[in-house]
């Protein structure tokens, strides 16, 4: 449900900014505020989950998200729209950490990867379906209909999460979380993990996010229209969703390293091959390959974080861990923009391919060979 809301709103954020009189650059900044809000919310999210428990944290996140979506829905200016989008980014950070923490507590360790991968896959499925549902509402009420779908989805998803039973252990036990551990303590105690595996998570985030930038830009470069581009992107997204659960099952049975390394190598190959795509068919092949890389990595970062997290201060650690990945999500499109401006789009895709290959090396070095013991 939460993914449906995100997917319904995603196509209309930039369009709403343009309708309010913003330039193309201003619309791009508004879109980027969603990711910035998520990065800014990652660390506080850990403290919130530790203090309030997962279910109460979701209720708080849903309330913040509702304020953000409501502001976007009625925004009279680009500035107000930007505030609304940023607030929803913060809410997404709290939401994501709370549901991850709940699943880690609720599911046996030997099923952790497939559970988290399935959850990530369902979120991607919602994001895939959201634009279609949003398009129907937009047709009736106008561009901001996507925000209306998002508003309903935030309420529904918050209610579903709040209806889950309390667990006998973890932050929700007894209805009260543990005292929050300071950020300094978390970073100091676990700096080796954050410096090594965290670097791999950052490079994974960069490879994932650059995909959403380079595919549409290359499609425009070779003269494809928006409809064809959307279809190709949708095909890749369908492959992405289909691979989520099988990848999680493989991680539970064979360990995390194989999936971590192979997904980044697939990303590297797809980015290197992209400049060779000169037709819709060849670009479609690249989109499918990128979808395979993304599908293999669904739930991977959450699983690695859960494996590495300590029993005490887990929520705070997961907040810092998510920050590593989300900084990569911000950095990926930024690298594409900077290298494209300095050289060419083809050079940017090759640079991202190189970074993905480096990420594969980091994962091969630091991800344990076998799954953790239950």
Mean of pLDDT values over 321-334: 87
Mean of pLDDT values over 205-231: 82
Instruction: Give 302-327 pLDDT, tens digit per residue.
Output: 899 988 888 777 888 888 898 899 89
pLDDT at 187 over 90: no
> Among positive and negative, which fits the CA dihedral 279, 14, 67, 180?
positive
Mean of pLDDT values over 218-234: 80
**pLDDT at site 150:** 93
- Token duo for residue 368: 């344990």
Domain 182-374, CATH: 1.20.1250.20
pLDDT at 186 over 90: no
Average pLDDT along the chain: 86
**pLDDT at site 83:** 94
Distance CA 317, CA 309 (A): 6
- CATH 1.20.1250.20 in the chain: give the residue spans: 1-165, 182-374
**pLDDT at site 353:** 95
* Confidence label for 177 from pLDDT (cuts 50, 70 and 90): very low
**pLDDT at site 270:** 95
**pLDDT at site 331:** 85
Domain 1-165, CATH: 1.20.1250.20
CA-to-CA dists, residue 332 to 179, 187, 213, 233, 236, angstroms: 35, 24, 9, 18, 19
Instruction: Give 41-59 pLDDT, tens digit per residue.
Output: 888 888 888 888 888 888 8
pLDDT at 300 over 80: yes
Distance CA 366, CA 374 (A): 20
């Amino acid at each position: 449900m939460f993914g449906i809301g995100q997917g319904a709103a995603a196509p209309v954020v930039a369009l709403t900014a343009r309708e309010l009189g913003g330039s193309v650059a201003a619309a791009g900044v508004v879109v980027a505020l969603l990711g910035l809000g998520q990065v800014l919310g990652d660390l506080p999210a850990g403290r919130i989950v530790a203090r309030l428990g997962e279910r109460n944290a979701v209720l708080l996140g849903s309330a913040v998200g509702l304020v953000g979506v409501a502001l976007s829905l009625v925004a009279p200016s680009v500035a107000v729209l930007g505030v609304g989008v940023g607030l929803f980014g913060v809410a997404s950070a709290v939401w994501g950490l709370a549901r991850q923490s709940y699943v880690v507590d609720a599911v046996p360790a030997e099923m952790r990867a497939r559970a988290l991968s399935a959850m990530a896959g369902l979120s991607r499925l919602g994001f895939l379906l959201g634009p279609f549902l949003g398009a129907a509402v937009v047709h009736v009420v106008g561009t901001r209909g996507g925000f209306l779908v998002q508003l309903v989805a935030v309420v529904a998803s918050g209610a579903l999460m709040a209806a889950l039973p309390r667990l006998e252990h973890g932050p929700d036990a007894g209805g009260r979380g543990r005292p929050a551990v300071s950020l300094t303590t978390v970073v100091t105690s676990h700096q080796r993990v954050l410096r090594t595996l965290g670097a791999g998570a950052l490079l994974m985030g960069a490879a994932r996010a650059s995909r959403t930038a380079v595919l549409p830009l290359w499609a425009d470069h070779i003269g494809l229209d928006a409809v064809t581009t959307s279809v190709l992107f949708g095909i890749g997204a369908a492959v992405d969703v289909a691979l989520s659960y099988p990848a999680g099952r493989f991680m539970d049975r064979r360990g995390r390293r194989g999936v971590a390394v192979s997904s980044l190598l697939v990303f590297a190959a797809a980015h290197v091959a992209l400049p060779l795509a000169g037709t819709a068919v060849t670009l479609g092949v690249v989109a499918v390959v990128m979808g395979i890389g993304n599908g293999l990595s669904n739930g991977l970062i959450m699983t690695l974080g859960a494996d590495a997290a300590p029993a005490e201060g887990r929520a705070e650690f997961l907040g810092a861990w998510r920050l590593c990945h989300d900084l990569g999500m911000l950095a990926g499109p930024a690298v594409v923009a900077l290298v494209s401006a300095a050289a060419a789009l083809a050079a940017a895709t090759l640079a991202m391919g190189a970074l993905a290959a480096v990420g594969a090396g980091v994962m091969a070095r630091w991800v344990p060979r076998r799954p953790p013991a239950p």
